Structure 1
């Protein structure tokens, strides 16, 4: 796609340049700038260029260096630089690890000095107060942080706060003559918008690449339960060292903070990801005000709607977040939500999948109220809901080991089912069937069933025991909807 864009740009330059190389018309100038866009312009040389835009914004992009204290112990551990490299390239070979080839058993904390690493980039977003946004993984574990400006001034930076869940950190420097990039409304960003990535790849200093917005709302890798991902994908070249740098639009507005790439070779493959400006700005505001990010919750467990689930549950749409469980006495419980509801809108934002509702709730300050729209039995309902502070909750450990010799059903799509053994402790009572084994690669395994699950419902009707379950699935065609309890939490699955 990037090659096509470049060819297209060259063609425009040739067609218009032939007639207007000395004095381009107002219409040609407007076309090249894309209306209000300022990315491309024909200068006094008659050259199609984005130099004026870059001269305005590149002073706001900084290089970041960190210093870490060196001890015998830290020499044998992973450095921040290795962490950064492995974020892009995956686990490094044994010979490239910092402790490779060392036979020393010395685990003392003897101070051996400091090590400086040039490992990332940052964006000045507030010139008056000296606030800089970068990635959490760029400054993680640093003892000292230094910012190098485009004019080569080196400043020691204060860490205001950092949030690993969004990979955003905020720094502060004291200096005069700083330039900042304004935040864009990242919600207005569209696939196909022109993008420019600015950063410090491989420690080379300011480097500029261009492309388009390839996709929005992206997730990648194995997201842990506490991570928030809503990335802008771009084909502008992003490489190690670009982390924390700026992704801007053709107006010179900040639409994202460059974070990661997907690459099998370690080089740029045109798949880069940036934290959207809205998320970065929200996290920044909380870090500055509170020193931490205070997130809210509404008390639901949610999941995506697969085609099989849509068929099995006879749902009217595949869009939305399916509520698999409502926590007792939570805001969702008080607002009247129930298992099986489909959340389609939150705080006036459309919800397409489970990530959307998670991100939308995270933007609302705990203690505030929001609107929520959901579907129940095909009917659309809207109500108000409180957002409360996320707190760590103790969870009972449920036993998933059953040694009893209980008659089993072994023909349910590769799953072995029994009545619930007495040794298994559950939160939802003793009605249902127990999954004592799942054959690898079977339909049950592909649907998500696992050993230790308890099937409570078939097609939203309760089952009391194995006999009841066999009656419920008899003569069923197509996908069968199962309501499953796992570790005290409920989820929906569809098995054919």
Structure 2
């Protein structure tokens, strides 16, 4: 008993020292917040619209208004009339003569933009330029000797590193939240062109009103611009996204020079390379971007890229996931001549490409998810000359019937789909399809099949046996 009593103070001392050591390892953000807050601003914008008289449901942040509209529909109409709509967000000063950076959705189509500093000074801001694809806007206020943020290097940011956000969530001005970098180079396909942005993912608490505010590293340097969150409730759920500052400053320079942004363009539709695809393409590892469609008169077409090519490297940058390609291509200056590495029919090949400029209103078609054969449960026929001409394809067979109990139906194949490829074989007629199926079964029970649906060609793996 006496030994136990002797050990008890030692255990208590050990636990106390351990807690103190852990506390010493946790960073303090107070100095960073004090030094950086003066260069962070609150942004209020207003515009006059004709429409429903209902007020916004997204806490005065347009990003969240869109969220509520998408999931809960339009609010009940109270008639049409002219009304003022106000939006709020955050931003930060990047030059002493009054240039500021924020999100495009904070000031989009605004009639008036008011910038409020932490010392209560207010200025009317001029919109110098904006870029919807990256969700960035450059503003200017008439003032001198303003406090400015320090610009960091987002390329040097590491996963697991501490980061701090300063902004005005729910109109609570100059609030500070902290977290870590969860991932880098995230692509967020959300129906817009934000796939061109290699987002930084964090777990920093970001809420309505934080949009456009800075993300700092522990050195007090801006490494990102808080832009979006993943949410099912309309509020913070632990997944936030920021635009890398290196990417943003390139946009800023272009907006200063010409008021618009030029991005590289390849002209292909792509999809992910799955394990089954990799196997059928003769690849040992599933990586890269699978070309499912090459657009007419595009840089890709002129360079000789073909459907079923897998792009594994572009301008010296490795393409691991399909989402890596739009980000990489978009960052290349239009007119640049680069080299790409592709895998074609199991062989590695290098091709030269002159990158084009992404058209202003361009929106790539999104690939849809997706022989007479009793095994597959489908009936096919050859395309007529008129059908091929109308659909602008030179080969393929049309599926006219699908057995709901068959293998094809169970894997998403539909009536009206056009089969263009099986394995590495072009399918021109029913004989080609039957032959390709038999050949595929000799080597594997899974084959890659090319399908045209609604004018967009995609590839998928198809199980040939139950």
Task: Give the TM-score category using the shorter length.
Answer: 0.7 to 0.9
Whether 2:53 is the aligned partner of 1:75: answer yes
Matched with 1:484 is: 451
Q: CA deviation at 1:311?
A: 2.1
SS in structure 2 of the partner of residue 472 of structure 1: helix
In 2: Cα distance, 1:189 partner to 1:249 partner = 8
TM-score (norm: length of structure 1): 0.77
Matched with 1:44 is: none
Matched with 1:180 is: 148
Whether 2:460 is the aligned partner of 1:493: answer yes
Matched with 1:261 is: 229
Q: CA deviation at 1:192?
A: 0.6
Whether 2:276 is the aligned partner of 1:308: answer yes
1:399-418 correspondence to structure 2 within 5 Å:
409=372, 411=374, 413=376, 417-418=380-381
Matched with 2:219 is: 251
SS in structure 2 of the partner of residue 354 of structure 1: coil
Q: CA deviation at 1:438?
A: 6.0
In 2: Cα distance, 1:439 partner to 1:139 partner = 53
Matched with 2:109 is: 141
For the Cα contact (< 8 Å) 1:163–1:293, is it kept in 2? Answer: yes
Matched with 2:37 is: 58
Whether 2:434 is the aligned partner of 1:428: answer no
User: How many aligned positions are there?
Assistant: 436
In 2: Cα distance, 1:366 partner to 1:77 partner = 43
| Cα distance per residue 1:366-412 (max 9 Å; x no partner) | 122233233345554445421112337999x9xxxxxxxxxx84756
Q: CA deviation at 1:248?
A: 1.5
- Pick closer, same or farther for the CA change 1:434–1:355 going to 2, 3 Å: same
Whether 2:96 is the aligned partner of 1:127: answer yes
Q: CA deviation at 1:199?
A: 0.9
Q: Which of 437, 451, 472 pairs up with 2:436?
A: 472
In 1: Cα distance, 2:261 partner to 2:286 partner = 32
Matched with 2:425 is: 461
Whether 2:76 is the aligned partner of 1:100: answer yes
In 2: Cα distance, 1:308 partner to 1:344 partner = 17
TM-score (norm: length of structure 2): 0.82
- Pick closer, same or farther for the CA change 1:394–1:345 going to 2, 3 Å: closer
Matched with 2:128 is: 160
- Pick closer, same or farther for the CA change 1:440–1:65 going to 2, 3 Å: farther
In 2: Cα distance, 1:325 partner to 1:479 partner = 22
Higher mean C-alpha displacement, 460-469 vs 242-251: 460-469
Higher mean C-alpha displacement, 306-315 vs 213-222: 213-222
In 1: Cα distance, 2:198 partner to 2:344 partner = 27
Q: Which of 223, 231, 241 pairs up with 2:209?
A: 241
Matched with 1:363 is: 331
SS in structure 1 of the partner of residue 125 of structure 2: strand
In 1: Cα distance, 2:406 partner to 2:112 partner = 52
Alignment RMSD: 3.4
For the Cα contact (< 8 Å) 1:321–1:342, is it kept in 2? Answer: yes
- Pick closer, same or farther for the CA change 1:174–1:438 going to 2, 3 Å: farther
| Cα distance per residue 1:244-280 (max 9 Å; x no partner) | 1111111222221111222233332211111222332
Matched with 2:9 is: none
Q: CA deviation at 1:221?
A: 5.8
Listed as ranges, the gaps of 5+ residues in structure 1 are 1-9, 18-27, 34-39, 41-48, 398-407
SS in structure 2 of the partner of residue 126 of structure 1: coil
For the Cα contact (< 8 Å) 1:460–1:483, is it kept in 2? Answer: no
- Pick closer, same or farther for the CA change 1:208–1:442 going to 2, 3 Å: farther
- Pick closer, same or farther for the CA change 1:260–1:143 going to 2, 3 Å: same
Matched with 1:91 is: 70
